[in-house]
Structure 1
Amino acid sequence: MGTFKIEGGHQLKGSIKPQGAKNEALQILCAVLLTDQKVTIHNIPDIVDVNKLIALLQKLGVKVASVGANAYSFQADDINLEYLESEQFKIDGGSLRGSIMIVGPLLARFGKGYIPKPGGDKIGRRRLDTHFEGFIRLGASFRYNREEHFYGVEAKQLTGTYMLLDEASVTGTANIVMAAVLAKGTTTIYNAACEPYLQQLCNMLIRMGAEIKGVGSNLLIIEGVEKLGGTTHTMLPDMIEIGSWIGLAAMTKSELTIKDVSWKDLGQIPNVFRKLGITVEQKGDDIHVPAHANGYKIQKFIDGSILTVADAPWPGFTPDLLSIVLVIATQAEGEVLVHQKMFESRLFFVDKLIDMGAKIILCDPHRATVIGHNFKSQLKATTMTSPDIRAGISLLIAALSAKGTSIIHNIEQIDRGYERIDERLRAIGAKIERI
């Protein structure tokens, strides 16, 4: 188990460039299975979860070649479907949440897709019903082995249909879209997710020859085609990492420039941080966060009531940044109620922040009230363990702002989502060591 040793309390300075988007990568990489032609993808983040998925594709028979820094070509012209029923696949697929999204492309192109119960963060229930209900509506038969937690869908020919999704699941929508592009006839998906990463997937599929209307809305209309071709795709910067760096700058009173952020795809993110009192300046396509020498003050609602920051499907605020908001609020002037609606276990890391001296009331599994110190009482260093990716980066930001030397164990969780994070932080002045 890896460990970070962090000497906190230092101001940082400089610029940092966000990696390619993790959540987009997991969708885009699975889409290469839809064609036997070469697909080249740029700005792929070099992180554990993405590298696991690339290795899984290779074991499936996809030819993978490096074509530059963070860029690979993929060609799925000789797929080994027998691997899907092997014991090794149960191990490989079960270690990664994103593996669920190979099912839609495999079902569409080869008539069958299997997956063990996917892994990923332990942040509460993360059901797969939306995925499989969509496949069933397209005409697939479904089976589930309860003893081995193994799912399977099969169909000789998928047929387009109308469906109203029970939730605007991003991965569920992506999986169903990838299945529908090769289905016979018209598929209409209402209550579809419309995140920028899902838009990226749809636009990539359109370049490959798919016919998709309504991209960017919650109503997608897909005319099935017989075959898709190759393409080249560049992934967006990771909006979760961008939000993390904004939070880091505020907590350490540092002046930071976040490069090439794709402002048009950030949605509510800059506005939410501004409500927390943080100055977020747009300079071209960069974000500049000046040093908050006098701290930052949380706004109240117009009627004077306490600010609530809650997650919601796009274009609402992403749940992946609520952990960052919670940490930032510990040193703000004022109070905020953080409402994590989507995952009931994601706020359970607050006990570690309380140990560091934060004033947080965990109201229930979904809500926490934070009373900010206004930097009058600095967080204290401690030893802690990272429970998941987003809590891990939040604890890292807390440690970088804290007085003294902190230890964070289980940093493999952070490495799953953040590329060479210790190297990149040292480049802007952080005192962080990987042990």
Structure 2
Amino acid sequence: MGTFKIEGGYPLSGEITPQGAKNEALQILCAVLLTAEEVTINNIPDIVDVNKLISILEDLGVKIKNKEEGSYSFKADAINLDYLQSDQFKQDGRELRGSIMLVGPLLARFGKGYIPKPGGDKIGRRRLDTHFEGFIKLGGKFRYNKEEHFYGVEAKSLKGTYMLLDEASVTGTANIVMAAVMAEGTTTIYNAACEPYLQQLCKMLNRMGAKISGVGSNLLTIEGVAELGGTEHRMLPDMIEIGSWIGLAAMTRSELTIKDVSWGDLGQIPTVFRKLGIELEQKGDDIYIPEQPDGYKIQKYIDGSILTISDAPWPGLTPDLLSIILVMATQAKGEVLIHQKMFESRLFFVDKLIDMGAKIILCDPHRAVVIGQNFKSALNATTMTSPDIRAGISLLIAALSAKGTSTIHNIEQIDRGYQDIDTRLRAIGAKISRV
């Protein structure tokens, strides 16, 4: 189990460039299975979860070439479907939640897709019903081995249909779209997710020859095609990492420039941070955060009531940033209610922040009230264990603002989502070492 040692309490400065988007990568990489032609993908982040998926694709028989840093070509012209029934796949797929998105493209092209119950962050129930209900409506036959926790969908042919999703699941929508692009006839998906990463997937599929309309809305129409071709695709910068660096600048009272953020794809993120009192400037496609020596003041509603920050499907705020916003609020001037609607275990890391001296009231599994200390009482250094990716980066930000030396164990969780994070943080002045 890896460990970070962090000496906190120092301001940072300089420029930092966000990596390619993890959540986009897990969709885009699975889409290479839809064609026998070569697909080139650029700006792939070098992180644990993405590398695990690339390894699974290679074991499936995909020919992979690393062209340069962050750039790979994929050619799925000799897929070994027997691997899907192997013990190795049952182990590899279980370690990665994103492996569920292999099922859609495999079902579309080969008529069968299998997956063990996937792992990932332990942040509450993350059901797969939306995925499989969509496959069934397209004509797939579902089966489940309870002893091995092994899912399967098979179909001689898929037929387009109308479906109203029970939830606007991003991965569920992506999986169903990848299955539907080669189904016979027209598929209409209502209550579809419309996050920028899903838009990226749809645009890539259209370049490959798919016929998807309504991209960017919650109503997608897909006219099935017989086959897809190759393409080249560049992934967006990771909006969660961008939000992480904004939180880091605020908590350490630092002057930072976040490069090449794709402003048009950030949605509510700049607005929410400004509500928390953070000064942000758009400079070209960069975010400039000036040093804020007097701290930052949380806004109130017009009637004077306490601000509530909550997650919602796009274009609402992504739930992945609530942990970072919660940590930031501990040193703000004012109070805020954090309402995490999607996952019932994501706020449980607040006990570690309370141990550091934060004033937080955990109301229930979904809500926490944070009473900001306006830097009058700094967080205390301590020893912590990272429970998941987003809580892990939030604890790291807390440690960089705290006085003294903190220790964070189980940093493999952070490495799952953040590329070379210790090296990149040292480049802007952070005192962090990997043990």
Q: Please give the TM-score of this superposition, normalised by the length of structure 1.
A: 1.00
Structure 1 spans left out of the alignment, 5+ residues: none
Letter of the 1:433 counterpart: S
The residue number in structure 2 matching 1:200 is 200
1:11-410 to structure 2, matched below 5 A, reads 11-410=11-410
Shift of 1:69: 1.2
Q: Distance in 1 between matches of 2:371 and 2:147?
A: 46
Q: Distance in 1 between matches of 2:290 and 2:67?
A: 37
Deviations 1:349-408 (A, max 9, x none): 000000000000000000000000000000000000000000000000000000000000
Shift of 1:326: 0.1
Deviations 1:385-433 (A, max 9, x none): 0000000000000000000000000000000000000000000000000
Helix, strand or coil for the counterpart of 1:14?
Answer: strand
The residue number in structure 2 matching 1:415 is 415
Shift of 1:51: 0.1
The residue number in structure 1 matching 2:431 is 431
Q: Distance in 2 between matches of 1:240 and 1:322?
A: 10
Helix, strand or coil for the counterpart of 1:313?
Answer: coil
Letter of the 1:251 counterpart: M
Letter of the 2:286 counterpart: D
Letter of the 2:145 counterpart: N
Q: Distance in 1 between matches of 2:262 and 2:32?
A: 24
Helix, strand or coil for the counterpart of 2:336?
Answer: strand
Deviations 1:50-109 (A, max 9, x none): 000000000000000011110000000000000000111100000000000000000000
Shift of 1:148: 0.7
Letter of the 2:222 counterpart: I
Deviations 1:237-266 (A, max 9, x none): 000000000000000000000000000000
Q: Distance in 2 between matches of 1:62 and 1:47?
A: 20
Q: Distance in 2 between matches of 1:379 and 1:316?
A: 30
Letter of the 1:365 counterpart: P
Deviations 1:2-40 (A, max 9, x none): 000000000000000000000000000000000000000
Q: Distance in 2 between matches of 1:280 and 1:273?
A: 8
Moved over 3 A (4+): none
Structure 2 spans left out of the alignment, 5+ residues: none
Letter of the 1:60 counterpart: L
Letter of the 1:195 counterpart: E
Shift of 1:139: 0.2
Q: Distance in 1 between matches of 2:349 and 2:69?
A: 35
Helix, strand or coil for the counterpart of 1:405?
Answer: strand
Q: Distance in 2 between matches of 1:136 and 1:281?
A: 48
Helix, strand or coil for the counterpart of 1:176?
Answer: helix
Q: Distance in 2 between matches of 1:220 and 1:296?
A: 41
Helix, strand or coil for the counterpart of 2:261?
Answer: coil
Shift of 1:142: 0.2
Q: Distance in 2 between matches of 1:145 and 1:252?
A: 50
Q: Distance in 2 between matches of 1:209 and 1:358?
A: 53
Q: Distance in 2 between matches of 1:335 and 1:231?
A: 49
How many residues align structurally?
Answer: 435
Q: Distance in 1 between matches of 2:250 and 2:194?
A: 30
Letter of the 1:20 counterpart: G
Shift of 1:317: 0.3
Helix, strand or coil for the counterpart of 1:93?
Answer: helix
Q: Distance in 2 between matches of 1:63 and 1:97?
A: 23
Helix, strand or coil for the counterpart of 2:15?
Answer: strand
Shift of 1:147: 1.1
Letter of the 2:434 counterpart: R
Deviations 1:134-178 (A, max 9, x none): 000000000011111100000000000000000000000000000
Q: Distance in 2 between matches of 1:27 and 1:35?
A: 15
Q: Please give the TM-score of this superposition, normalised by the length of structure 2.
A: 1.00
Helix, strand or coil for the counterpart of 1:256?
Answer: strand
Letter of the 1:218 counterpart: N
Q: Distance in 2 between matches of 1:136 and 1:233?
A: 30
Q: Distance in 2 between matches of 1:60 and 1:217?
A: 33
